[in-house]
Amino acid sequence: MIPPSVIAKAAKNGLMGPGQVPGHWICSMLRCPTCTSKAVSGIQFTHIGLCADHLEEIKVCLGLSANGKTLEADQVFTGMGASPGEAKAEASFVASHVADEFVKGRVLVTWMTTPEYVGAMRRAVAIVTTRGGRLCHAAIVSREFGVPCVVGVRGLEPFLNRVSGLVFQVDGTAGTVHVVG
């Protein structure tokens, strides 16, 4: 599977776009049944035929998703506490294809985790995802590692490409993520 972030990068660099790569090719690269079924049935959410989730991921990677809003200190986001504990550290947005580059001692922030993230999850002081529930991959693995985790964080997704370098305070018990600065 090619991650949406790689497709977004290719789109940003002009390697694909309207009239260059058919939507069903991108859907096949993502291996997403929703994308593929929508593209096959002729219903397209955009000119490249992506499902709403993948379209949002690509928009985030391109920095097109925040609608003029900014991520500022003292903002608090809520989600579901998936693994108890608290941690305060610099945050890093991590896409699956760069998970191996994650720096130890930071808060791992992403859409959702997969087995490709396990090495990064081991090095994280806390994990924050914008998707998932108490039984998702991030929740289960964070509990195994004893790392505080908040999943399904609402309102953070449009800012994912802007969180790196900010300090986050994560409370895995209460399910809150506080942007310290």
Domain span holding position 53: 4-62
Q: What is the mean pLDDT of the chain?
A: 77
What is the chain's Cα-based Rg?
17
CA atoms within 13 A on the CB side of 77: 26
For residues 100-128, average pLDDT = 93
Could you tell me what percentage of the chain is helix, strand and coil, using 3-state DSSP and rounding each to the nearest 5?
Answer: 35, 20, 45
Same-domain status, 140 and 171: yes
Tokens of 102: 């994650």
Encode pLDDT of 53-100 as tens digits.
Answer: 666 666 655 555 555 567 778 899 999 999 999 999 999 998 776 788
pLDDT at 26 over 60: no
Catalytic position from the list 24, 54, 137, 178? 137
- What is the pLDDT, as a whole number, of residue 166? 93
Is 54 catalytic? The answer is: no
Within a domain: residue 70?
no
Same-domain status, 30 and 52: yes
Tokens of 22: 């058919």
Within a domain: residue 128?
yes
Of the two residues 64 and 179, the one the predictor is more confident about is: 179
Within a domain: residue 150?
yes
Question: Which of 62, 85, 112 is where one domain is finished?
Answer: 62
Same-domain status, 149 and 92: yes
Whole-model pTM above 0.75? no
Same-domain status, 141 and 82: yes
Within a domain: residue 130?
yes
